[in-house]
Amino acid sequence: MPVILEKKYENGISLAIWQITEQHDELQAMLPSEILTDAELASISHPQKQIEFFCSRLVIKYLANSLGINYLGIKKDEHGKPYLAGTDWQMSLTHTSNYVAAVMHPSRSLGIDMEKPTEKLSRIKHKFMSEAELASTENDFENLCIYWSAKEALYKLYGKRKVIFNENLHVSPFEKGVSCIQGRLLINEIDKNYDIYIERIDGYILVVAG
């Protein structure tokens, strides 16, 4: 069973996570040619990246079916933000070498990200965290990963470029082990708060902002 978790959050966002266990050709055969175009396939040369790409479209297809949405494929806007063709539903996706995950909501802007806590984030934390955020957290890899993933998810939620992570994206202080935190998008005329849900799966941190 490829979908290892499906859930709906209090704010109405639906999530599905797919574990990648299938082989390349098996996955490709599961996607009709109007959903997986030759141009899309040609744009991804690495076989592992193709597998992640196939699974990301399949998890979206799975979630759309589960929510009663007619899945006609994914298109991208001028900033690269994906959207579901033929519907106003909002969506976001993330892929790793082991899992892909997607979220959807009928109207709410949202973003998702999945990462493994690594030492690298400790080295670059000044680039993506504000002085206040740095002061409020210890050098704990899981917590740093939550800050990073929350900001990547907020970036995807906003969907446009020229975002300065340590100025425009904020995460309120939180205790280790919590499953919901608060994020804030502060850019141009926008000042909005968002719930950020956290899942811990097989050593990965997955966050959903919306």
Q: Distance of CA 43 to CAs 32, 46, 120, 130, 207, Å?
A: 17, 10, 29, 36, 28
Q: Does 156 engage in binding with ligand COA (CB under 6 A)? A: yes
169 phi, psi to nearest 5 deg = -120, 125
Q: Does 152 engage in binding with ligand COA (CB under 6 A)? A: yes
Give 3-state DSSP helix, strand, coil % of the chain, rounded to 5. 30, 30, 35
**Interface map 90-109 toward ligand COA (x if CB under 6 A):** --xxxx--------------
d(CA 31, CA 114): 23
Q: Does 50 engage in binding with ligand COA (CB under 6 A)? A: no
Q: Does 113 engage in binding with ligand COA (CB under 6 A)? A: yes
Identify which of residues 9 and 159 has a Cβ nearer to ligand COA in the complex. Answer: 159
Which of 9, 83, 141, 165 binds ligand COA (CB under 6 A)? It is 165
Which residue type is seen at 108? Answer: R
Enumerate binding residues for ligand COA (CB under 6 A): 53, 56, 79-82, 92-95, 113, 127-128, 152, 155-156, 159, 163, 165
